[in-house]
Amino acid sequence: MAFLCEPSSSASFLSSNSSSYSQSPFQVKLLHHNFSPAPKFGQTILLIHHCTSKHTSTVCTAAIDPPPPPEQNQSPSSDANVSLEVASTTRDRQKIVRVAWEKLVRWSRSLRSKAKTDVLERTNKVVVLGGGSFGTAMASHVAGRKTQMEVNMLVRDPQICQSINQNHCNGKYFPDHKLPENVTATTDAKAAFSNADFCLHAVPVQFSASFLEDVAEYVEPGLPFISLSKGLELNTLRMMSQIIPQTLRNSRQPFVALSGPSFALELMNNLPTAMVVASKDKKLANAVQQLLASRNLRISTTSDVTGVEIAGALKNVLAIAAGIVEGLNLGNNSMAALVAQGCSEIRWLSTKMGAKSTTISGLSGTGDIMLTCFVSLSRNRTVGVRLGSGETLDDILGSMNQVAEGVATAGAVIALAQKYNVKMPVLTAVARIIDNELTPQKAVFELMNLPQVEEV
């Protein structure tokens, strides 16, 4: 039984001068049979035959191009070989995929069997600085790694402290999420830092120096700081890798930057997440990897602290720009163009500062940029959407209960770009909008009228 299909405009890949065509994993032949009624003039019949041990049958046909002259010496057995070749090729492809996957699984199991667990085993206490959404999410995650571990959150808000200790939840940010029993909170810095093995720093960048100055006397010189904060200090242009040791007056204070595409809410819901830890000390980076990695959280390591921190700071500014495009309803084309340009600007500056370009294309760069620019949970993107919709910055910030780091970082980014002589049109436009010196509409007009240049 044969099925005749009318030709389509996209079917011209088969030449009328060819009697066969092959494209892995399938092979087909042009065959010529007597059809009743005969095919329309200017058509070729493409048949794929199915063969069993008893008979040969047509699986499908398609009319494509004008037929070549009939072959006089066509062997009947060649028709049956078509489906055999298709089946054989498919089985080969499936085998290759299966073998590749099995190798990956074996490699993974081998490494997991050799993975060290000594860091987690000997960690008895982790202090978390700050009671915001991300600090709370990471406190919950770390506490879940080991029930015997004490996770103590140092907060300034007495209500958050009471909510965590009495109701086992952060009533301000996650009222519907129960925290592990081993998460506690305090406003007493001395008690929080006492006997701590690691410190997770989750205080917003602009408030970090003053926070650390108040607790510096209780910090042990060898206590590793894992920074969760992203941004640049407005007046000094400092990154967290500079703020923490300088404020604590200890240039050797162990430091690790944690970054990557990660919304606090999804961490609280135990959804799969991947992040990266950066430290000049490879041993310390591996230790933090052991501490944090779990079934739901993958942790990669790198020594490129500058790249991770700069990408984490600048992506917040770019997210505001993406939000503005959304708020102005400029469409998908402009959104893609803007984010691509912003990625280039981040790469230009970070590499000038000594970062690796591979870092910018990794989790802490492209990964975090995509999440922050395209997803509505992003605080910075939300600021941009509302700016593009016509709201004032003061009204926007006054209605938010969380910090949008990109607002404060924008000015610092441009100062840093001038320092390293890097042109950053998109991020500069965001800074001008935030300073109320440029409207979103005017910014779009100016950016679209920049000189046409070679892409770099």
Catalytic residue positions, numbered: 315
How far apart, in whole angstroms, are the C-alpha atoms of residue 142 and residue 182?
A: 10
The answer to whether the CB of 20 falls within 8 A of the CB of 30 is yes
How far apart, in whole angstroms, are the C-alpha atoms of residue 397 and residue 436?
A: 14
Q: What's the longest Cα–Cα distance across the chain?
A: 97
- Radius of gyration in angstroms for the set of CA atoms belonging to the chain, rounded to a whole number: 30
How far apart, in whole angstroms, are the C-alpha atoms of residue 453 and residue 264?
A: 40
The answer to whether the CB of 223 falls within 8 A of the CB of 198 is yes
Residues whose CB is less than 8 angstroms from the CB of residue 1 and which lie 6 or more positions away in sequence, other chains included: 57, 58
Q: How far is CA 113 from the centre of its chain?
A: 28
- Locate 299 and state its tokens: 């942790």
Give the closest residue to 163 by CA, choosing from 178, 148, 149: 178
DSSP label of 363:
I
DSSP label of 365:
I
How far apart, in whole angstroms, are the C-alpha atoms of residue 27 and residue 38?
A: 25
Q: How far is CA 313 from the centre of its chain?
A: 15
- Walk across the sheet containing 45-51 and list its strands: 20-23, 26-30, 45-51, 56-63
Within 10 Å of residue 278's Cβ, how many Cβ atoms?
26
How far apart, in whole angstroms, are the C-alpha atoms of residue 295 and residue 273?
A: 9
SS3 207: helix
How far apart, in whole angstroms, are the C-alpha atoms of residue 135 and residue 130?
A: 6
